[in-house]
């Protein structure tokens, strides 16, 4: 089984995050792994959430424990990715011995996409439905979850999208809206069920809310404290998150 292209590219352009897998394997704890890698606890979990979202299966699994507590270990998929990363490291060392190949690596680095979107989910194109000048793209994510993205038909052609194509969906945290489990979603919006795993309050501005999906993926949303209070949401609460198909950006491997 091959790795998703999005994860393979991530290993090339953001190796320090992949290296975090080694620290988790050695330390058996996110807290200790973060310290060993020179990261904050939050930065470590953000990195792990991103890796889990890009992989076909979670790379890191956690055990029961409070914030900063409990343990963590690599899944079989995580161990496989770590072995591949170690092989890539050895290959990179060989390449860097040649000045010409070093220049080529720098060019590849500039060509790789980096994005500010907090939510990056790997998936495959399931369907393409024409809507005038736009297309509605059905995307199947890990765990059988399906979301829809609305893009222009020109974008469909430019990205060479077709059924079965590997893509990743980009959704900014501010585009996600939390709704209570009993509330009806807005017609035509994507709606996913999840459980709140963490709420990070800000001194001035919206809170950062992390949601665990049944598939093992994680989403990050922004919500005003008053909105959370009105919905009686807290860590451990079941919640739905909705977002418009037009707020889902699609990326493809280079």
How much is the average pLDDT of 158-178?
Answer: 92
CA atoms within 13 A of residue 232's CA, in its CB half-sphere: 3
- Confidence band (pLDDT; 50, 70, 90) for 54? confident
Q: Which residue has the higher pLDDT, 221 or 68?
A: 221
CB of 92 closer than 8 Å to CB of 106: no
Rounded Cα distance, 123 and 252, in Å: 10
Mean pLDDT, rounded, for 78-93: 79
Asked if the model's pLDDT at residue 110 lies above 70, the reply is no
How confident is the prediction for the chain on average, in pLDDT? 83
Please answer whether residues 20 and 44 qualify as being in contact, where contact means their C-beta atoms are separated by less than 8 angstroms: yes
Name the packing angle between helices 5-13 and 76-95 (round to 10°).
50
Token pair in block for residue 248: 């889902």
Architecture of domain 5-111: Orthogonal Bundle (1.10)
Q: How sure is the predictor about 122, in pLDDT bands with cuts at 50, 70 and 90? A: confident
Which of 5-14, 117-126, 151-160, 242-251 shows the lowest per-residue confidence on average (mean pLDDT)?
5-14
Domain 116-254 fold is OB fold (Dihydrolipoamide Acetyltransferase, E2P) (2.40.50)
CATH 1.10.10.10 spans which residues of the chain?
Answer: 5-111
* Of 41-50, 148-157, 189-198, minimum mean pLDDT range: 41-50
* pTM score over 0.85: no
Average pLDDT over residues 116-132: 89
* Residue range 114-124: mean pLDDT, rounded: 81
Judge whether residue 10 has pLDDT over 80. no
């Amino acid at each position: 089984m091959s790795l998703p292209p999005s994860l393979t590219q991530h290993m090339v352009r953001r190796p320090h995050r992949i290296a975090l897998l080694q620290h988790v394997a050695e330390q058996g704890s996110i807290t200790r792994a973060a310290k060993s890698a020179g990261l904050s606890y939050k930065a470590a979990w953000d990195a792990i959430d991103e890796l889990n979202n890009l992989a076909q299966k979670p790379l890191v699994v956690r055990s029961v424990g409070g914030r900063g507590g409990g343990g963590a270990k690599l899944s079989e998929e995580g161990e496989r990715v770590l072995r591949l990363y170690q092989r890539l490291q050895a290959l990179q060392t060989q390449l860097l011995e040649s000045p010409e190949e070093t220049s080529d690596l720098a060019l590849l680095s500039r060509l790789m996409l980096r994005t500010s979107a907090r939510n990056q989910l790997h998936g495959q194109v399931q369907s393409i439905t024409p809507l005038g000048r736009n297309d509605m793209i059905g995307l199947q994510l890990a765990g059988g979850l399906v979301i829809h993205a609305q893009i222009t038909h020109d974008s469909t052609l430019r990205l060479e999208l077709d059924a079965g194509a590997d893509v990743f969906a980009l959704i900014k945290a501010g585009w996600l809206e939390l709704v209570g489990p009993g509330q009806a979603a807005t017609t035509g919006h994507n709606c996913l069920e999840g459980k709140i795993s963490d709420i990070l309050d800000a001194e001035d501005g919206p809170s950062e809310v992390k949601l665990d999906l049944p598939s093992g993926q994680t989403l990050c949303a922004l919500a005003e404290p008053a909105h959370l209070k009105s919905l009686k949401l807290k860590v451990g609460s079941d919640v739905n998150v909705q977002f418009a198909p037009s707020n889902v950006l699609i990326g493809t491997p280079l």
